[in-house]
Amino acid sequence: MTKILHVFVYLFVALSGAALWFELQLNAQRDTLADRGRLQEDYLVKIASTIEKAEPDKGVTTEMRMDISPVDAKIVDVPETENVLEDYKYYLEKQSLETFSWGMRERQQLHNVYVTDAEGKPVMDGGRPLMDGPGTEKDLLEQLFQACSAQQARLNTTREALKNLRDRLEQAVSEINKLKPELRQAKVAEVEAVSQKDKAAKDQDVMEAQNVKIRSQIDELNAEIASLRDEVISARDETDAAKEDLAKALRENEQLKKISKDAFALANSGPAPEAGSDAPITLPAGDKGTVVEADTEDLFAIVKLSDEALKELKGPELSRPLPHIELSVKRPGYKGPAGEFIGRLRLRQEVPGKNYVVCDILANWSQGEIKSNDVIFAD
């Protein structure tokens, strides 16, 4: 009996030790489960605070109109446009929507795993407690799940809207990239146009200055033309006078040729005619005329006396016969043995009605060859 009692004692001690060990293990698991439950509860509350409780108003819209009229070289007052945000879900931009705010009531509900009756006992569903019902943990988590699903749907919609916007943005960027070269070319054309305009303005200023200068030159040329016209008229008059003088000179030349022939014949015919007088006459000193023609071989010359000299020789009325006196000949600027003195002449015969006189050249007085335009003078 004692042995059996000892066996039972040892068995009881062993079972007590095992029970103690299991108790210790259960306590450890209980603490782990309790800590896990509190951690999950805390993070469920935090996660709930990030979940939007209500959806935004989907009736809100917006528009952004883009000019889709073709770019032509004309002014379009009212271009054709389209709303690039027609399919855009503007409500997705709504911010600061209401989120779940769980407090002690919701924390308590998280502990209500089963539906309970008025006495707080679980309501049975067949052989198992009922978990689906108001005020239970599942009910609260289902609300959170539905809100998460809706928020995820909005997120996916936002992603799709972003993709569509990115496509539109790529299209807009492509169009802008196409317009950039055209705009640069337009800028270059504008700069060139401005440069050409500035150059044209400068050229215009230069041309205006040249026009002013040309107008001034034209005025000067017109003045010169008027002056030349006057000179031409004057020259024409002088030409007419010169023609008359030439005709007169030609006539006189013919007369001189005839006088020369007559004088030559007279010089070879013998003594001078008795019409003149050898009586001495004193003339005032000075120039009396010029040599018209001279023949140094036959020693005669034709001279033209001034009107004053003829009056001194023949009287104021030119009524006396021409005296056969001697006169000297000089050449201004001549540098001969006797300075400007060339020789002497003796008046021989006058030409009636003229100032011409045929003279003998006195060879013994010769200091050089007497020539036309030499000056006759009395000393």
Helix 137-267 crosses helix 2-48 at what angle (to 10 degrees)? 30
Question: Domain containing 325 — which CATH number?
Answer: 2.40.10.170
The pLDDT score that the predictor gives to residue 274 is: 44
The pLDDT score that the predictor gives to residue 237 is: 74
CA dist 160 and 88 (Å) reads: 10
Q: 131 in helix, strand or coil?
A: coil
Q: 116 in helix, strand or coil?
A: strand
Give the CA dihedral 90, 92, 98, 99, nearest 10 degrees: 180
Whether residue 1 is contained in a domain is answered as no
Residue where a domain terminates, one of 154, 188, 222:
188
Diameter over CA atoms, the chain = 233
Same domain assignment for residues 39 and 183: yes
The pLDDT score that the predictor gives to residue 249 is: 64
The range of the structural domain enclosing residue 79 comes to 34-188
Same domain assignment for residues 47 and 175: yes
Whether residue 193 is contained in a domain is answered as no
Whether residue 224 is contained in a domain is answered as no
Whether residue 236 is contained in a domain is answered as no
Whether residue 10 is contained in a domain is answered as no
The pLDDT score that the predictor gives to residue 179 is: 75
pLDDT tens for residues 166-184? Answer: 887 788 788 778 777 877 8
Residue where a domain terminates, one of 159, 188, 217:
188
Same domain assignment for residues 161 and 307: no
**Where would I find the H helices in the chain?**
2-48, 104-110, 137-267, 307-314
CA dist 329 and 347 (Å) reads: 12
Q: Tokens in use for 123? A: 């309501």
Same domain assignment for residues 39 and 174: yes
The letter for the amino acid at 295 is D
Is 137 within 8 Å of 113 (Cβ atoms)? yes
Q: For 257-280, b where at least 16 C-beta lie within 10 A, e where not — what string?
A: eebbeebeebbeeeebeeebeeee
Whether residue 243 is contained in a domain is answered as no
- DSSP string of 51-72, one letter each residue: SBSS---TT-----EEE-S---
Whether residue 300 is contained in a domain is answered as yes
The pLDDT score that the predictor gives to residue 326 is: 93
Domain count, the chain: 2
Whether residue 337 is contained in a domain is answered as yes
Residue where a domain terminates, one of 188, 206, 238:
188
Regions of the chain short of the pLDDT cut 70 = 34, 228, 232, 235-236, 239, 242, 246, 249-250, 252-280
